[in-house]
């Protein structure tokens, strides 16, 4: 079984996807981390996020194991990741890895922006998770401050909106729901309620 979970920044799709994977006994892949890792390595190498040739080279030999996840979760890396992610050659370089991961037994939950549209168009169930920008900023702000980042919800909101606009307007694999995706608005749902709603959708599809 393959479950695709897509949605805008900080919509809660990561937490939801991880819980769905545990619930159904499936593998889990946060595909955003792949783009974040390419961006992190670029900056580490002293390159700009818009250095396309270097980004493709890094993407082709990506090794997630050697990078600390905490360093990948900052807003700076998120912003750089969305610049990197607009590069079609970077996307192609990591497409096979994602598809092979999705097809491992007994199945997988992948979360990202283009799982239902490009990576796994034949997924058994597709969710598109949203929440209002203000709620997303509040949730992500809390997360970032708990991880030691000194950042206000207003700055987080500006970052999310900039990133969403970039992700929605790029020519390749833009952020959008697949035609057969189930929309799940978590604005007024806590994690538990969102999880129950997602399980009801998966079980019913
Ligand atoms: O956790 P959050 O929603 O803030 O972001 P993320 O899922 O870690 O993704 C970081 C960036 O990677 C996004 O803003 C996208 O530009 C890009 N991305 C993508 O293009 N395609 C994916 N499947 C996953 C992430």
Domain ranges, residue 161: 2-200
Residue 172 sits in a domain whose CATH number is 3.40.50.300
Query: Given a cut of 90, is residue 50 above it in pLDDT?
Result: yes
pTM: 0.95
Question: What letters, b where the CB count within 10 A reaches 16 and e where it falls short, cover 34-57?
Answer: bbbbbbbbbeeeeeebebbebbbb
Task: Write the pLDDT tens digit of every residue in 101-150.
Answer: 999 999 999 999 999 999 999 999 999 999 999 999 999 999 999 988 89
Strands 2-6 and 125-130: parallel
Q: Which residue has the tokens 């169930």?
A: 125
Task: Inform me whether the pLDDT recorded for 70 exceeds 90.
Answer: no
Cβ < 6 A, ligand 1 pocket = 9-10, 14, 31-32, 35-36, 78, 81-82, 85, 112-114, 163, 167
146 lies in some domain: yes
- Is residue 47 situated within a structural domain? yes
Within-domain flag for 8: yes
For residue 205, being part of any structural domain is answered with: no
Q: SS3 of 183, please?
A: strand
Lookup result for tokens 């959008």? 176
CA 81 to ligand 1 centroid distance, Å: 7
H or E element that contains 120:
none
Per residue in 152-189, pLDDT tens? 999 999 999 999 999 999 999 999 999 999 999 999 99
pLDDT in tens, 13-23: 999 999 999 99
Residue 11: inside a domain, yes or no?
Answer: yes
How far is it, in rounded angstroms, from Cα 1 to Cα 73?
Answer: 28
Instruction: List all residues 6 or more positions away from 96 whose beta carbon is below 8 Å from its beta carbon.
Output: none
State what percent of residues in the chain have pLDDT above 70.
Answer: 100
């Amino acid at each position: 079984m393959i479950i695709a979970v897509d949605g805008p920044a900080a919509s809660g799709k990561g937490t939801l996807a991880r819980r769905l994977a545990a619930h159904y006994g499936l593998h889990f892949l946060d595909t955003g981390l792949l783009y974040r890792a390419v961006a992190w390595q670029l900056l580490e190498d002293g390159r700009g996020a818009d250095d396309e040739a270097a980004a493709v080279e890094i993407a082709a030999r990506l090794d997630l194991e050697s990078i600390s996840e905490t360093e990948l979760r900052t807003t700076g890396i998120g912003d750089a990741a969305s610049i990197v992610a607009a590069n079609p050659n970077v996307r192609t370089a990591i497409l096979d890895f994602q598809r092979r991961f999705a097809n491992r037994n007994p199945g997988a939950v992948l979360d990202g922006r283009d799982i239902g549209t490009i990576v796994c168009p034949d997924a058994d169930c597709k969710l598109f998770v949203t929440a209002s920008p203000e709620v997303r900023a509040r949730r992500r702000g809390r997360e970032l401050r708990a991880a030691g980042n000194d950042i206000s919800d207003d700055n987080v909101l500006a970052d999310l909106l900039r990133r969403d606009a970039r992700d929605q307007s790029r020519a390749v694999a833009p952020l959008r729901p697949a035609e057969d995706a189930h929309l799940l608005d978590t604005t007024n749902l806590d994690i538990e309620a969102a999880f129950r709603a997602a399980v009801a959708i998966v079980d019913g599809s």
